[in-house]
Amino acid sequence: MYSYQDVLAEVLIDETTLQKRVKELGEEISRDYQNEDIVFICILRGGVVFLIDLMRHVTVPNQIEFMAVSSYGVGTRKSNGEVRITYDLNTNIEGRNVIIVEDIVDSGNTLNAVIQVLSTRNPKSLCICTLLDKEDRREVEIPIRYCGFVIPDKFVYGYGLDLDDYFRNLPFIGVVDLEKLEKIKGKK
């Protein structure tokens, strides 16, 4: 196994900047949903770290739910195009304000499929809150209401985002040095 430093090209978003922006998003959501309640639906697994920090800054009543959706194979950096719901909600969202919490929006295909499924369940409102947006990679229009950062088309990890299912615990967003990663994987 290698360490995160072995493949870190740069720190794209440091811990202080991340936490400041997450707090701002929580405050914005609280203002927008004053006198309302929210159901946060976290897309597992990457969105968990972001959700936990975000909800600490939300002052309106809220519940959390989880969905697991897969479109990536282990060890890949590209979606295979097939979207599967591997874990579904346990809560009825009909008539509720729903905010989908996502770690990163890339092509938009996976999130578009989630939006289509959840829309059939008749929520009062449905919107997206993403930590990261790779808008240059978008293939499908996604109505993002709350966005932490628009980032360039780089392979990132940390703060919930994984690299081969590791390093979600890093307090910052790092960029993977793909050449170093390939060298390390070639030695195995």
Q: What is the pTM of this model?
A: 0.90
Per-residue pLDDT of 145-160, as tens digits, reads 999 999 999 999 999 9
Token pair, residue 151, equals 């980032």
* Identified catalytic residue from 37, 106, 153, 165: 106
Query: How confident is the prediction for the chain on average, in pLDDT?
Result: 92
Q: What is the pLDDT of residue 160?
A: 96
More confident call, 69 vs 157: 157
Q: Is 106 a catalytic residue?
A: yes
Q: What is the pLDDT of residue 79?
A: 53
pLDDT at 83 over 80: no
Of the candidate CATH numbers 3.40.50.2020, 3.40.50.450, 3.40.50.300, 3.40.30.10, the domain formed by 15-154 belongs to 3.40.50.2020
| Burial class of residue 57 in the structure, from the number of CB atoms within 10 Å of its CB (0-12 exposed, 13-18 middle, 19+ buried) | middle
Single out the residue of 8, 52, 1, 6 nearest to residue 158, CA to CA.
8
Q: What is the pLDDT of residue 1?
A: 83
Q: How many residues does the chain have?
A: 188
Residue holding tokens 């697994």? 45
For the chain, what are the domain ranges?
15-154
